[in-house]
A and B are shown apart, each in its own frame.
Chain A
């Protein structure tokens, strides 16, 4: 069964303290892996799409990487405005459907 696991569940960082969030997945055939940011009371906001192992994407202080089993979201020198829940989702190839399978997310709090 396709499954996505994110860790840690919650993370508190001091401003400027770099860290990484993990998303491990088990799917029969990966079509794509997606990272979203979600602020309280809002919908998921798209960050990155990764399609193949070895691929990397960057945006400001965020960098997403992908291996055959997991993805990392690296946050370099975070600021308080980076505080949010970060969601990982996978889309499986050949499953006959194109739904996303989400992890439960990592709640990030960056302290000033």
Chain B
């Protein structure tokens, strides 16, 4: 069974540009989560989808971040416009049910110059 996949693995962009990250969860997992780890800090929650609905987006830093999950399958996280402090590793995770273990993807390493 395929695990959680993320694309791209790395992205280097300039301040002010737009970047879109993609996450494909494990097949059949209705719950999808986005997390972020900035340098030297712990992994922090961004938001949680149940199917195509946003269950909790309390961790989204500001309105420059937009997450979507159309059709309840893959999800995208768009940063527009990107700022220097958005640099970090963005992880996606999925679970069968909200109380089940979350399985993580390899992450997208974003560097904003």
A17 CA to B91 CA, complexed, in Å:
33
Known: A87-B43, A98-B55, A101-B45. A43 touches B99 (CB 8 A): no
- Which residues between 40 and 76 of chain B lie within 8 Å of chain A, taking CB atoms? 41-45, 48, 55-56, 58-59
Residue on A nearest B6 in the bound complex, by CB: A43
The residue that A43 contacts in the complex, of B41, B44, B59, B106, with Cβ under 8 A, is: B106
How many residues on the A side are at the interface (Cβ–Cβ under 8 A)?
Answer: 25
Residue on A nearest B40 in the bound complex, by CB: A104
Asked whether any CB of chain B lies closer than 8 Å to the CB of A32, the reply is yes
A91 CA to B33 CA, complexed, in Å:
13
8 pairs from A and B in contact (CB 8 Å cutoff):
A42-B107, A43-B6, A43-B105, A45-B104, A97-B48, A98-B56, A100-B43, A105-B42
Q: Which residues of B lie under 8 Å from residue A36 when comparing CB positions?
A: 104
- Which residues between 78 and 112 of chain A lie within 8 Å of chain B, taking CB atoms? 87, 89, 91, 96-105
Known: A49-B101, A99-B59. A42 touches B106 (CB 8 A): yes
Asked whether any CB of chain B lies closer than 8 Å to the CB of A16, the reply is no
How many residues on the B side are at the interface (Cβ–Cβ under 8 A)?
Answer: 26
Q: Cβ of A99 and Cβ of B56 under 8 Å apart?
A: yes
A87 CA to B80 CA, complexed, in Å:
30
Residues of A at the B interface (CB closer than 8 Å) are: 4, 31-32, 34, 36, 41-46, 49, 87, 89, 91, 96-105
Max chain A CB contacts within 10 Å: which of B41, B91, B99? B99
Asked whether any CB of chain A lies closer than 8 Å to the CB of B103, the reply is yes
Give 4 nearest A-B pairs by CB, closest first: A99-B45, A43-B104, A98-B98, A97-B56
Closest chain B CB from A75 CB (angstroms): 21
A44 CA to B106 CA, complexed, in Å:
8
Known: A43-B107, A87-B43. A100 touches B48 (CB 8 A): no
A87 CA to B58 CA, complexed, in Å:
22
Q: Cβ of B42 and Cβ of A104 under 8 Å apart?
A: yes
Closest chain A CB from B29 CB (angstroms): 13
